[in-house]
Amino acid sequence: MTPSPSWQVRHLGMPEGETLVNAEKVLEGLRDGDWEPSDDVRGPGESEWIQIQDHPHFIDAVAEMGPPPPEPVDESRLDMNPMIDVALVLLIFFILTATYTSLRRSISLPPAPTDGATASVNQKDIQDRVFRMKVSLDTNGTTVIKIDDRSVSLDSIDRELKEHVRNSGRKEMHLTVADDVPWGTEAKIYDAARGAEIHQIYWPKGK
């Protein structure tokens, strides 16, 4: 008994195909979605693979089927683009706000005399409202801070200033800072002074 001619179909790009008993099975696979018109087919006695839609045996059948239905839209998919845009806007807003806040934290220092004259201050007149702070660096590069000749650490400067103002009642400060003291240290002292509600800072001429 002679075996019936068979057809072979393979998905696009695959090295081997599947054997089907006849051409009707190929068309049935197309209708069921098992195969795509762009998949390859090879008929009995044929040595070359040909796309189903280009094979003379299936051209008319593929044309009658029409284009495949569009894939359904996945409504559960979340579009992240608007969320990313909002996040970037918020990030820019927070950066600008933080910059503005840091600028507001700086204490308004007294203006320099406009006439070039240096005002003389009597120590006895201000000793009840002004205390002294001196900031320098030792030979090891460590910050040395003294409040009225009392040494305090930079890490505790906020608490020390608040306690000193509360105990002495003086809310004006005569500040002397060495030239080699980093600006970051000065900024921290200014912030601490603001937190301690010190409303006036005096510093030697030239610093």
pLDDT (tens digit, 9 = 90+) per residue, 9-32?
Answer: 888 878 777 887 788 888 888 888
Residue 103 lies in a domain: no
Residue 105 lies in a domain: no
Residue 161 lies in a domain: yes
Residues 131 and 198 reside in one and the same domain: yes
Number of structural domains in the chain? 2
pLDDT at 88: 92
User: How many CA atoms does the CB half-sphere of 76 hold within 13 Å?
Assistant: 0
pLDDT at 90: 92
**Final residue in a domain of this structure, among 42, 65, 88:** 65
Report residue 185 as tokens: 């240290």
Q: Provide the pLDDT confidence category of residue 201 given band limits of 50, 70 and 90.
A: confident
pLDDT at 83: 87
pLDDT at 207: 46
Residue 95 lies in a domain: no
Comparing 127-131, 147-151, 192-196, which segment has the lowest mean pLDDT?
A: 127-131
- Report angle CA 151, 155, 161 to the nearest 5 degrees: 60
- Angle between helical axes of 157-168 and 183-195 (0-180°, round to 10): 40
**Final residue in a domain of this structure, among 21, 44, 65:** 65
pLDDT (tens digit, 9 = 90+) per residue, 42-51?
Answer: 888 888 888 8
Domain with 182 in it:
123-202
Instruction: Note the pTM of the prediction, 2 decimals.
Output: 0.40
CA distance 92 to 37: 51
Chain-wide mean pLDDT for the chain?
78
Decide: helix, strand or coil at residue 71.
coil
Between the ranges 49-53, 89-93, 102-106, 112-116, where is the mean pLDDT highest?
89-93
pLDDT (tens digit, 9 = 90+) per residue, 152-171?
Answer: 888 888 898 899 888 888 88
Residue 142 lies in a domain: yes
pLDDT (tens digit, 9 = 90+) per residue, 107-129?
Answer: 555 555 455 444 455 555 566 78
User: How many CA atoms does the CB half-sphere of 86 hold within 13 Å?
Assistant: 5
pLDDT at 1: 40
Residue 113 lies in a domain: no
Residue 71 lies in a domain: no
Residue 101 lies in a domain: no
Can you give the CATH number for the domain in which 196 is found? 3.30.420.270
Measured between its terminal Cα atoms, the distance across the chain in Å is 113
